[in-house]
Amino acid sequence: MLLGTPCLLIKRVIQQQTEFSMQKTKPTLILSQAAFARAQQLMPGGVNSPARAFGAVGGTPIFVDRAEGAYLFDIDGNRYLDYIGSWGPMILGHRHPAVLAALKHALEHGTSYGAPTEAESELAERIIDAVASVEKVRLVNSGTEATMSAIRLARGYTGRDVLIKFAGNYHGHVDSLLVSAGSAAATLGVPSSPGVTQGTTQDTIVLEYNDVAALEKTFAARGAEIAGVIFEPVVGNMGVVRPSEAFCETLQRLTRKHGALLICDEVMTGFRVAFAGAQSLLGLEPDITTLGKIVGGGLPVGAYGGRADVMDHILPAGEVFQAGTLSGNPLATAAGCATLKLLKDDPPYGKLETLSAQLEDGLREAAESAEISHSLARVGSMITLFFHDTAVDNWSAASQCNTDLYARYFWGMMDRGIYLPCSQYEALFVSAAHTAEDIEQTVAAAQETLNDIAPGSAGG
């Protein structure tokens, strides 16, 4: 303890000195660098999820001390406008009073029981009421658990083995789906991970997103073998990519025609792009929907739900096995219920649309003014500025982005107090805690940064 004291004193002095810098100068990352060095001795890559290690942009990840509203504060006392929001969950902003109050109330009763609670029924009911295609739902602890269980259910329900997924779509670290995945896997150039056996991927067909002809051809050849198709209804994991109308229509039609299940992975888009999810914007009726992130309000919750006749194949109602010690945890369900209640009672989607459109326009003008090849994609409060000269509608296009330039953009924005996703292959998220002034500050920082990094500029 004594040994620790000087470090703590130094840490506090640095924090007090830099807290008031309020980001007028390039942030100092002294304590984050020390913390990262320590973490790398203890955990693989010093992180508990690869996307956080800044592998795609280089440098030292900031270690967060606390968060409030639209802001993150690192352990060196620097303040950042947060456009990651924990990779999506914090749609209301950090430490929303109603979510904190719900958590404090739950804490008065306990933290985990391994027994049913009414809070689980409330969260299930809120999801069912919000998402038309969901008649029954099972709560789990992460998006990965949700998608892993959904594909097991599709195979158990149909008695078939083959799955279709799409390049650049990421559905969590499920063995059979870690093939040409997006997000961290794509970012780190490791589309199919070591340790994933041929046996687990031999039944996974990977197609190009938005490729209608490939879908038609695959179903024509193997329709009777296909258990399910899993896809991101609006992709976030190769940057934001919209589905074409024809792609959505073909997905719905062919899965119905051949008796395969349509699995809409709304872990990122659920309650994000609309209260009823991306499927409500696209007119889709999936057989199974997977959820995560926002439904936990920042605590670990995943969920999969859909047609009652399908969901009733899950143990103990049916025979498809799935279980979890902490599934439906009372703290997590409290945060999830409070979040979904706020999203229903006081929907922020109009404000998010206004702020996100303002940010999209500002980024577009800044990139055009800096004469940088780019394209921009936005769905609701999910936005990606691609360093690519044409619109990105699949992984083949996304994989040609100038990721080196993105890394320089990322750090230029960090130096100006704006915390963006640390990869070209992610979406940024605007929260209900952001303000018009925050957006103006972000656009101004983007203009300076893009001017600095533009080819032919002094810093280019």
Q: Which residues bind ligand KE4 (CB under 6 A)?
A: 49, 51, 87, 142-144, 147, 170-172, 183-184, 232, 236-237, 265, 267-268, 292, 302, 426
Q: What share of the chain is helix, strand, coil (3-state, %, to 5)?
A: 45, 15, 40
Q: Is 265 a catalytic residue?
A: yes
Are 248 and 390 in contact by the 8 Å Cβ rule? The answer is no
User: In whole angstroms, what is the distance from residue 60 CA to residue 38 CA?
Assistant: 12
User: In whole angstroms, what is the distance from residue 19 CA to residue 224 CA?
Assistant: 62
Residue placing its CB nearer to ligand KE4 in the complex, 287 or 426: 426
Which residues touch 249 (CB under 8 Å, ≥6 apart)?
none
Q: Is 293 a catalytic residue?
A: yes
Which residues touch 283 (CB under 8 Å, ≥6 apart)?
248
Residue placing its CB nearer to ligand KE4 in the complex, 39 or 366: 39
- For the bound state, the minimum distance from the C-beta of residue 288 to ligand KE4, rounded and expressed in Å, comes to 13
- For the bound state, the minimum distance from the C-beta of residue 78 to ligand KE4, rounded and expressed in Å, comes to 22
Of residues 386, 399, 382, the one with CA closest to residue 208: 399
User: In whole angstroms, what is the distance from residue 382 CA to residue 282 CA?
Assistant: 16
Catalytic residue among 71, 83, 157, 170: 170
Residue placing its CB nearer to ligand KE4 in the complex, 183 or 402: 183
139 forms bridges with which residues in the sheet? 303
Catalytic residue among 211, 293, 304, 406: 293
Residue placing its CB nearer to ligand KE4 in the complex, 183 or 255: 183
Residue placing its CB nearer to ligand KE4 in the complex, 56 or 445: 56
The DSSP-derived string for 50-83 is GGGGTTTT-SPPPPEEEEEBTEEEETTS-EEEES
- For the bound state, the minimum distance from the C-beta of residue 454 to ligand KE4, rounded and expressed in Å, comes to 28
- For the bound state, the minimum distance from the C-beta of residue 142 to ligand KE4, rounded and expressed in Å, comes to 4
Of residues 200, 198, 194, the one with CA closest to residue 152: 200
Are 329 and 116 in contact by the 8 Å Cβ rule? The answer is no
DSSP state of 177: G
Of residues 314, 297, 298, the one with CA closest to residue 306: 314
- For the bound state, the minimum distance from the C-beta of residue 140 to ligand KE4, rounded and expressed in Å, comes to 9
Residue placing its CB nearer to ligand KE4 in the complex, 236 or 297: 236
Catalytic residue among 74, 82, 211, 265: 265
- For the bound state, the minimum distance from the C-beta of residue 244 to ligand KE4, rounded and expressed in Å, comes to 19
Residue placing its CB nearer to ligand KE4 in the complex, 18 or 149: 149
Are 376 and 413 in contact by the 8 Å Cβ rule? The answer is no
- For the bound state, the minimum distance from the C-beta of residue 18 to ligand KE4, rounded and expressed in Å, comes to 27
User: In whole angstroms, what is the distance from residue 122 CA to residue 106 CA?
Assistant: 14
User: In whole angstroms, what is the distance from residue 27 CA to residue 25 CA?
Assistant: 6
Chain residue at closest Cβ approach to ligand KE4: 143
Catalytic residues: 170, 265, 293
